[in-house]
Copies of this chain bind each other. A is one copy, B any other.
Amino acid sequence: MEMFLGIDMGGTLIKLAIVDGKADVVEDASVYTDINAAPKTVIKNIANIIKNFKNYNKVKSIGVGIAGDVDYKKGVVRFSPNLPKWKNIYLKKELEKLTGKTVYADNDANTASIGAFWLDIKNKADNVICVTLGTGVGGGIIINKKLYRGSNGTAGEIGHITVEAKGRKCNCGNSGCSETYIGVKHIVKEAVDILKTKKSKYIMKLADNNIKNITPKLLSQAALKGDVVAKQVWNNVGEKLGILLASLINIFNPDSIVLCGGISNAGNLLIAPAKKEIKARAFKTSADNCKIVISKYTGKLGVVGAAMLVKN
């Protein structure tokens, strides 16, 4: 049986896995990332680890996902925010020299989207949008079962669709990007803003009376206990997410949208108001057709998607 090896290079952990042709994990491992080590040394160590996998000989190709600016055509890591020593590293070339196998490399938003397509969708749809909700809001566009990268490899910046023409200033330079309403720090800011006029003993208790301790996770916890402020935060955030999703549905008429990343853990708190907004805003045929799915595999998407880069 043909197998594929995936490597997810995180700032804390390097995850490794061998998957079969259906993207089911056959064997996996993880090691801590040494962010101070020379990239060449890290690549050598990875080569040694993967050669110890029992199924290594069956592996047809290797894929690597890494945060940052990756030239996927050349397999060069131009820059990675998590790994400051990785600048213009010829990852593909180095790892191919050490393994003799074909190597692919891409950024982690792309590998996560491919992972969601295989794990959550099981390769059973043609057109899927993956929305990663975290510090930033990223995405991946799967068209005809393949990742769409655009003309320079920078497509899929769906966190930077304008949803308010004169809205909040975004890090990207634009104003009113959806990221400025549903990114982690803006969710927290939403809570802090509401707390200026409404009190919540429960949130403040969870936060040890320090608003700096408020996190999306804490807000989920509070909302599930019925806290009015926390519920309002998720309603507002879900509404903004729904506006974004409605636009994506009108543009892409996809089979599914998969939500992944830490914020997607808010589950129904986020999805219920988003769905309401989709119903009010998107074209009916397209909205009815589009399943909104919360990924069940957030921790595995990167490594599995990296393995499946070969099909993209």
Contacts and interface: CB of A to CB of B under 8 A. Distances in A.
A283 B154 contact: yes
- Copies of this protein in the assembly total 2
Contact of A280 (B158, B163, B174, B240): B174
A282 B127 contact: no
Contacts of A250: 157-158, 160-161
A161 B286 CA distance: 14
A175 interface: yes
Interface string A227-270: 00000000000001001001100111111000000000000000
A148 B143 contact: yes
Interface string A71-110: 0000000000000000000000000000000000000000
Contacts of A280: 173-174
B143 A175 contact: no
A172 interface: yes
Contacts of A127: 150-151, 155
Contact of A253 (B155, B174, B246, B289): B155
Contact of A289 (B126, B151, B164, B165): B151
Contacts of A150: 127, 252-254, 286
A285 interface: yes
Interface residues of A, number: 45
Given A150-B127, A150-B254, A151-B289, A247 B172 contact: no
A254 B151 contact: yes
A173 B281 CA distance: 6
A138 to B, nearest CB: 11
Contacts of A255: 151
Contacts of A247: 160-162
A125 B150 CA distance: 11
Given A126-B151, A163-B162, A173-B281, A156 B286 contact: no
A278 B253 CA distance: 25
A163 B243 CA distance: 10
A253 B154 contact: yes
Given A152-B285, A157-B286, 18 more contacts: A126-B151, A127-B150, A127-B151, A149-B253, A150-B253, A155-B251, A155-B252, A155-B286, A157-B251, A158-B251, A160-B247, A161-B247, A162-B163, A164-B164, A165-B167, A165-B240, A172-B283, A174-B281
19 contacts: A125-B151, A127-B151, A143-B143, A149-B253, A150-B253, A150-B286, A151-B253, A152-B253, A152-B286, A153-B253, A157-B251, A157-B253, A157-B283, A161-B247, A162-B246, A164-B165, A172-B283, A174-B282, A251-B251
